[in-house]
Amino acid sequence: MAEHTDPQPDPRVVEVAPLESGGNLAGFLLLRNWPRDTVEWSKLLVMAVRMAAVPGFLPTSTVFSIDDEHGRTVHPGAVGIIIAAGPVVGEGALAPGDLAPTPLPPGLLVLHPPKCTVAETPGRDTASGCFFFPGLPHLGLDHRAAWARADMGGNVTHLRSKGDVDPYADADTAALASLLAA
């Protein structure tokens, strides 16, 4: 009888572990590898939006800060952490400048639960989200973003990523850009 062996793991795999606090989504731990490009960040976004679609797991639209320096303090195998920075609206909502006392993150994520997302198909509740990575256009480094939607069953209903983004052409990227620019 042949012995079963697991294939060698892909050395470029990005592993993601959701973080929970008080029954709510608090962020994500990035393990093994940092996402290389917008495509890999888009895959991570789809997973995050699916988590936001779980009823009750994300109480309101929330901004998450991407941190590529402090993941190892949380877990020895971590390469980064995406942590909830605050709600978009309501009590405790982030305002321009709230992220300024800390080193600016390389990017931000916003997730909207189904109750905060206008459904594309009536009767089919969806969660949505957006990653925004600011560039330095005057140095030839463009802004990048990705957008995704998923229904409560986890089915992806929309996915788009783009380079050379005008941050003020979309409500999510405009809000995230204003938090980073202040």
Tens digit of pLDDT for each residue in 81-96? 999 999 999 898 998 8
Q: Can you tell me the distance from the alpha carbon of 27 to that of 71, in angstroms, rounded to the nearest whole number?
A: 11
Tens digit of pLDDT for each residue in 107-148? 899 999 999 888 777 778 899 999 998 876 666 677 889 999
The stretch 16-31 carries a mean pLDDT of: 94
Q: Can you tell me the distance from the alpha carbon of 109 to that of 159, in angstroms, rounded to the nearest whole number?
A: 15
Question: What is the CB neighbour count within 10 angstroms for residue 141?
Answer: 12
Reported pTM: 0.87
For residue 14, give every residue at least 6 positions away whose Cβ sits within 8 Å of its Cβ, in sequence order, or none.
30, 31, 32, 33, 34, 35, 40, 43, 44
All structural domains of the chain with their residue ranges? 15-181
CB 110 within 8 A of CB 9: no
Identify the residue with better confidence: 27 or 142: 27
